[in-house]
């Protein structure tokens, strides 16, 4: 798969503060690529650099194999950080300005306003919009000219639950149309539900990158991946004492009549079952728990917020 965006050795300092440190990754064409990280991890800085509003200290980037240019940005729909519009103009007039800068006609404007349910308020001043409406207008602006690449920074900010679901569905629909979506978010559930690929940033460092499944399973980059398995038997105490001697077990926790164990991925469920049976214990329950992105994220970044 060819790379829509290739970020190479990107480093950014704000004075003495290092916001990005030697970050490199590629965004495959046709993917929904999530850039995930706690507040202050460098997500917006990274997107700001590839959209030319911030200057990198070191490193470069390529859009479709070419150095970034304004002509390429015209072909990309971007919502960066907050909706940026002229407060004294109506939603429609703001979109006319965006369309004119992109070199597009006005014909797309009613269509994109309909898509984000803002058509009825098109003549209202931007300053009278609610936070959610402002966000919708920004998303409408990204859709002008039907671009093949979309960049969203925290796209569901300020939206109500129905709005969040609509925007997530919109992103999935856009991806089904063959468009590449790059999305920065600190909402793990959002990334897990929408994205095909994910890069995790922390304090400006790229911690991992790959498909969502790869990241969840611990590859690439990790030497040892940890699995979680839930077990039960007639005697939990006996089961626990037996499992303590099984090589590869990392942690055992008792939880309301079941045992939750963490073990190395070399240990399969069938191997656990066989071992217990050989030790005279018949398991009444054996579930391999699918790791959520949230757990994986916390494993990689730690549990504390950076702000």
Q: Which chain residues interact with another protein by CB under 8 A?
A: 48, 51-55, 70-71, 73-74, 78, 80-82, 84-89, 93, 96-98, 100-103, 141
Shortest reach from residue 197's CB to another protein, in Å: 23
**Residue number, 102 or 179, with CB nearest to another protein:** 102
Residue 70 CB, nearest approach to another protein (Å):
5
Closest among 10, 6, 7 to 64, alpha carbons compared: 6
Q: Nearer to another protein by C-beta: 82 or 260?
A: 82
CB 149, min distance to another protein, A = 13
Q: Which is nearer to another protein, 93 or 193 (CB)?
A: 93
**Of 53 and 298, CB closest to another protein:** 53
How many Å apart are CA 140 and CA 31, to the nearest integer?
21
Assigned token pair, 249:
């077990």
Residue among 127 and 235 whose Cβ is closer to another protein:
127
CB of 56 to another protein, least distance (A): 10
Q: From CA 235, how far away is CA 119, in angstroms rounded?
A: 64
Q: Rounded CA gap, 273 and 101, in Å?
A: 64
Rounded to a whole number, what is the distance in angstroms from the first to the last CA of the chain?
37
Residues 6+ apart with CB under 8 A from 199: 25, 33, 34, 35, 36, 206, 208, 209
CB of 75 to another protein, least distance (A): 8
Angle at 40 between CA 39 and CA 41, to 5 degrees: 95
Query: CA–CA separation, 254 vs 84, rounded Å?
Result: 52
Q: In Å, how far are 19, 118, 188 from 37, measured between CA atoms?
A: 12, 31, 9
59 vs 210 by CB, closer to another protein:
59
Taking the complex as a whole, the smallest distance from the CB of residue 63 to another protein amounts, in Å, to 12
């Amino acid at each position: 798969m060819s790379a829509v965006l290739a970020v190479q050795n990107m480093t950014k300092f704000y004075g003495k503060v290092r916001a990005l440190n030697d970050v490199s990754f590629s965004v495959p064409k046709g993917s929904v690529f999530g850039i995930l990280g706690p507040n202050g991890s460098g997500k917006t800085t990274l997107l700001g650099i590839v959209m030319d509003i911030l200057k990198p200290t070191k490193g470069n980037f390529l859009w479709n194999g070419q150095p970034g240019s304004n002509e390429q940005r015209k072909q990309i729909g971007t919502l960066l950080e907050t909706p940026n519009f002229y407060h004294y103009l109506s939603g429609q007039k703001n979109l006319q300005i965006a369309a004119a800068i992109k070199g597009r006609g006005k014909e797309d404007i009613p269509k994109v306003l309909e898509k984000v349910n803002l058509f009825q308020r098109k003549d209202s001043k931007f300053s009278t919009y609610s936070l959610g409406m402002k966000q919708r207008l920004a998303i409408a602006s990204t859709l002008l000219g039907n671009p093949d690449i979309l960049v969203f920074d925290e796209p569901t900010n300020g939206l109500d639950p129905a709005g969040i679901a609509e925007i997530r569905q919109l992103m999935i629909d856009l991806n089904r149309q063959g468009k590449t979506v790059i999305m920065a978010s600190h909402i793990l559930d959002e990334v897990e539900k929408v994205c095909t690929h994910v890069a995790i940033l922390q304090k400006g460092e790229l911690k991992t990158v790959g498909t969502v499944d790869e990241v969840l399973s611990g590859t690439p980059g990790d030497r040892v991946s940890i699995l979680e398995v839930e077990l039960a038997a007639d005697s939990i105490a006996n089961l626990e004492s037996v499992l303590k001697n099984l090589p590869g077990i990392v942690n055992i926790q008792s939880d309301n009549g079941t045992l939750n164990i963490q073990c190395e991925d070399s240990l399969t469920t069938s191997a656990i079952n066989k071992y217990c049976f050989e030790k005279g214990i018949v398991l009444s329950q054996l579930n391999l728990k699918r790791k959520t992105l949230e757990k994986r994220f916390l494993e990689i970044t730690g549990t504390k917020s950076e702000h």
